[in-house]
Amino acid sequence: MEKLEMIYEGKAKQIYRTDDENLVIIHYKDDATAGNGEKRGTIENKGVLNNKISNMIYRYLMKHGIQTHLVEELNDRDSLCTKVDIVPLEVIVRNLVAGSAAARYKMEEGTKVLTPIMEICWKDDNLGDPLINDYHAIAFGLATREELDEIYAQTLKINDLMLKMWDEMGIQLVDFKIEFGRTKEGQILLADEISPDTCRLWDKHTGEKLDKDRFRRDMGNVEEAYKEIFSRLEKKED
Ligand code: C5P
């Protein structure tokens, strides 16, 4: 598979064209941003760790019937994926209140909720990814009713599978963000990454944060936390 020119560069990843029009190569960088790009830095080896972490999670989800863009891990930082048009929505699931929800509803971080909460945000950097609802998504042409139904059904299944997977590794899945893409044929696939950049992961016993909040909140030991997540996933895969 030949890596051709870069077609997109985001905050944490680059996307390259390949000699197959249906496939792209995703390259993971060490760059980290928070607060919609206001805070910038690098986390050593983050690209390598997130590439491998995301692929391990995707392999687990695929084994349990979730369709994703992942085709093959090519090397430490590159993965071959199905080319999709990203649906411009950030789909967030909250199993506990934390982060922006704790601030919005003036609740303690870690507050329990009766059922998982699903939110959608309009993926638009200039607007700061505002929280919207289904009416906005449909009215603004971001997704159709049918696509939203499919996205919500897949998201709930992904949450159930991930709650179990992380729990078996001694980790509480507090919340996470996922994105979906449309293939050329119009099929909806889980795309982008799932990693400590996009999830809140707390050690079940100590409550220690093992995710990007360590970077966002200047808590230190960021790389160590990502490595801890990687090594627990690696043990699980064996
Ligand atoms: O900041 P907030 O509490 O809304 O984040 C909810 C979840 O979504 C967190 O796990 C966070 O890491 C993730 N997220 C993300 N990318 C964003 C916004 C949130 O991965 N742009």
Residue pLDDT, tens place only, 182-214: 999 999 999 999 999 999 999 999 999 999 999
Q: Are residues 78 and 137 in the same domain?
A: no
Q: Is 116 in the pocket of ligand 1 (CB under 6 A)?
A: no
Q: Are residues 169 and 190 in the same domain?
A: yes
Nearest CA to ligand 1 atom 7: 176
Residue 227 lies in a domain: no
Please identify, among 82, 108, 140, the residue that sits at the C-terminal boundary of a domain.
82
Residue 134 lies in a domain: yes
Instruction: Provide DSSP, the chain.
Output: --EEEEEEE-SSEEEEEESSTTEEEEEE-SEEEETTTTEEEE-TTHHHHHHHHHHHHHHHHHHTT--BSEEEE-SSSEEEEE--EEPSEEEEEEEEE-HHHHHHTT--TTEEEEEEEEEEEE--GGGT--EE-HHHHHHTTS--HHHHHHHHHHHHHHHHHHHHHHHHTTEEEEEEEEEEEE-TT--EEEES--STTTEEEEETTT--B-STHHHHTT-S-HHHHHHHHHHHHHHHH-
Q: Are residues 73 and 159 in the same domain?
A: no
Q: Are residues 21 and 98 in the same domain?
A: no
Ligand 1 mean position to 69 CA, how many Å?
A: 21
pTM of this structure: 0.97
Q: Are residues 92 and 68 in the same domain?
A: no
**Which atom of ligand 1 lies nearest, measured to the CA of 174?**
10
Ligand 1 mean position to 67 CA, how many Å?
A: 22
Question: Given this model, what pLDDT does residue 100 score?
Answer: 98
Name the domain count of the chain: 2
Q: Is 101 in the pocket of ligand 1 (CB under 6 A)?
A: yes
Calpha distance 164→147 (Å, rounded): 26
Q: Is 121 in the pocket of ligand 1 (CB under 6 A)?
A: no
Please identify, among 47, 82, 117, the residue that sits at the C-terminal boundary of a domain.
82
Residue 232 lies in a domain: no
Q: Is 95 in the pocket of ligand 1 (CB under 6 A)?
A: no
Q: What is the 3-state secondary structure (H, E, C) of 159-170?
A: HHHHHHHHHHCC
Question: Given this model, what pLDDT does residue 164 score?
Answer: 98
Calpha distance 31→25 (Å, rounded): 18
Q: Is 33 in the pocket of ligand 1 (CB under 6 A)?
A: no
Ligand 1 mean position to 204 CA, how many Å?
A: 20
Question: Given this model, what pLDDT does residue 110 score?
Answer: 98
Q: Are residues 116 and 18 in the same domain?
A: no
Question: Given this model, what pLDDT does residue 148 score?
Answer: 98
**Which atom of ligand 1 lies nearest, measured to the CA of 176?**
10
Ligand 1 mean position to 2 CA, how many Å?
A: 33
Question: Given this model, what pLDDT does residue 36 score?
Answer: 84
Residue 123 lies in a domain: yes
Residue 206 lies in a domain: yes
Return the CATH number at 161: 3.30.470.20
Q: Are residues 77 and 100 in the same domain?
A: no
Taking the chain (238 residues) in consecutive chunks of 10 residues, what is each chunk's mean pLDDT?
95 97 98 92 97 98 98 98 98 98 98 98 96 98 98 98 98 98 97 98 98 98 98 91
Length in residues, the chain: 238
Q: Are residues 69 and 118 in the same domain?
A: no
Please name which of 173, 165, 227 lies closest in space to residue 199, comparing C-alpha atoms. Answer: 173
Q: Are residues 107 and 167 in the same domain?
A: yes
Ligand 1 mean position to 77 CA, how many Å?
A: 23
Residue 210 tokens read as 């093992």
Question: Given this model, what pLDDT does residue 192 score?
Answer: 96
Calpha distance 108→99 (Å, rounded): 10
What is the span of the domain harbouring residue 27? 3-82
Q: Are residues 47 and 93 in the same domain?
A: no
Ligand 1 mean position to 112 CA, how many Å?
A: 18
Predicted complex ipTM exceeds 0.95: yes
Neighbours of 130 (CB within 10 A): 10
Residue 208 lies in a domain: yes
Residue 43 lies in a domain: yes
Q: Which amino acid is at 215?
A: F
Q: Are residues 108 and 43 in the same domain?
A: no
Return the CATH number at 59: 3.30.200.20
Please identify, among 59, 82, 105, the residue that sits at the C-terminal boundary of a domain.
82
* 219 Cβ contact list (under 8 Å, min separation 6): 209, 213
Q: Are residues 217 and 102 in the same domain?
A: yes
Calpha distance 37→126 (Å, rounded): 11
Question: Given this model, what pLDDT does residue 188 score?
Answer: 98
Residue 204 lies in a domain: yes
